[in-house]
Each structure stands twice: as C-alpha cells, then as structure tokens.
Amino acid sequence: MITSVDITNVLRELGVGPSDTVFVHSDVSRCLRVAGRTRKDKLETVLRGLADSVPEGTLIMPTFSYSFCRHEVFHLERSPSTCGVLTEYFRGRPGVRRTADPIFSAAVLGPVPGQWERELFGVGDKDCFGPQSIFAYLLEVDAHHVCLDTTTCTFIHHVGQREGVPYRYFKEFRGVVAQDARVTLATARYFVRPLEDEFEAVIDPLARTLLARGRARAIRLERGPELWAARAGAIAQTVVEEMEANPEFLLRRGHRELSGVGNG
C-alpha cells in the first residue's frame, strides 16, 4: 500500500522543502493502491502526503469553474471544481480558502503574503492569467509545480500572455460572483484561443525538455502514480527559450476547439 509518508518522501526527493509553495495538478485514477478502505480515505491519504511535504508552507490546487463563461453565477463556496475529484475534495477541507477568480480559482491551504491577500481573495474584476493572478503569484514565489499522474500545466498560459503569443486573444466575461450572502458584478479577462483555429495546447514537449535539461524530475511510486515536479521559474524560462526558436512549441495542429469559450 502507498502511504501518505511515501508521497511526502517522494516530494522531498523531488526537491520540495517544508516551507515551500506547491501547486498540484492531479489525476488520481491510478491511486487504487493508496492506503484507505473508502474513496474518502484514499483522498485523505493523498492530501495528507501532499500537505505534510509543506508543513510550514502552502499547498495550492486548481479549482477552475467555467460556468461563469456560460453566464452562470460563480459561488465561491458552492461552485464545484472541474479539475478532478481530489481538487473538489480539497476545496471543502477545513482551513482551505478559495481564490476569487470566477474562472481560474484555486484552493489554498497555508499562508499567503499580505500584499497578495487582496489580489487573490478579493472579489472583483480579474485578469485570469495577468500580473495579479494566482499564476503570477506562483512565479513570484517560484512555486513547485507538481503533477500527480498528469502533465497538465495551466501556468504556461500566464507565460504566454506575458510574452504576447499571437495565437490567443483577450475575451471578457461579465457576470455575478457570490460570496456568503453578498453578490458582486465582476468581469473576468480571459486570454483565449480563436475558435476557428484548429490547434490545441500540448504539454508533453515542455515536460520532455524540462526533464532533459535537469529542470524537472519525475518519480513513479511502485505500481502507483508518477509525480513530476519543476519550479515555476524554470518552466517560464524554458517556455520562453523554446518559443524563441519555435513559436508553436506548445501547439498541436489539427484540433478544433469545441468548448465555446477557448482553451485554458
């Protein structure tokens, strides 16, 4: 059985320190061998392993919700995460706070510097991948980007927006954000890709390049999930370097966007 200590130990081997910030994308479909009789028990084991790796730091997970793009109210307390069962479970744990971006929210356990409190948790207009976004915060603190059996990396869109990639454009969504008994009209500025373009963002080339350059590490638990980790600064540096040589480094042609709002 895979225990929480096993997960913590792997994160230590990947370079995570007790006071670091860790941002985790996850797919727990290969976590059947994680200790616990029920699904809830297994999720608790995974979360304990992740949280125990940063006992003096901060654990963050994406809780993105695209309902705001469909003109639905974004409820900070109730809108479910679309980023997998682990993130939805984490969102409801004691002490976990959710950032107020109505599209790209994140669940946060642990301290956030005072200057970021208002930017991340204050309800109002948001630039999803902009300089006051959760992704900008990850870069500022050089967080560990950890993937639990996935190579998802939404952070690259912050880099792409900052670098002004030509295959995305800004689109604004306006709607209602509800927090407790208060409702607020807010605008979310989202750097989307054109619906008519037949391509998708791909992360595998980035993961391979990071590993080849020693900027990332990956360890697979025995008969279980693989954990992959890289610093936000290393990811940003690699994306910029590779896009200078090949602007389509993170693109795959031949795919048509179907969601109606663009790719995140």
Is the pLDDT at 261 greater than 90, yes or no? no
* Total domains, the chain: 1
pLDDT tens figures, 34-63:
999 999 999 999 999 999 999 999 999 999
Asked whether residue 115 is domain-assigned, the answer is yes
Does residue 264 sit within a domain?
no
The fraction of the chain above a pLDDT of 90, given in percent, is: 83
- Look over the chain and give the mean of its residue pLDDT values, rounded to a whole number: 92
What is the reported pLDDT for 197?
A: 59
Label residue 196 by pLDDT band (50, 70, 90). Answer: low
Range of the domain at 19: 4-253
On whether residue 260 sits in a domain, the answer given is: no
Question: What pLDDT, on the 0 to 100 scale, is given for residue 260?
Answer: 32
DSSP β-ladder status, 169-179 and 74-75:
parallel
Residue 198 pLDDT level (bands cut at 50, 70, 90)? low
DSSP 105: -
pLDDT at 254: 60
Query: Rounded mean pLDDT of 160-169?
Result: 92
pLDDT-derived band at 200 (thresholds 50, 70, 90) equals confident
**Would 203 be classed as within a structural domain?**
yes
Query: At residue 19, what is the residue type?
Result: S
pLDDT of residue 258: 32
Tell me the pLDDT tens digit for each residue of 72-106. Answer: 999 999 999 999 999 999 999 999 999 999 999 99
- Rounded average pLDDT over 134-147: 98
Is 23 domain-assigned? yes
> How many angstroms from the chain centroid is the CA of residue 44?
20
Residue 261 is assigned to a structural domain of this protein: no
Distance CA 160, CA 40 (A): 37
Q: Between helices 204-212 and 232-245, what is the axis angle to 10°?
A: 110
Inter-residue contact 189 to 128 (CB < 8 Å): yes
The greatest distance separating any two alpha carbons of the chain, rounded to the nearest whole angstrom, comes to 51
Q: What is the pLDDT of residue 35?
A: 94
pLDDT-derived band at 113, boundaries 50, 70, 90: very high
User: What CA–CA distance (Å, rounded) separates 119 from 214?
Assistant: 33
Average pLDDT over residues 114-129: 96
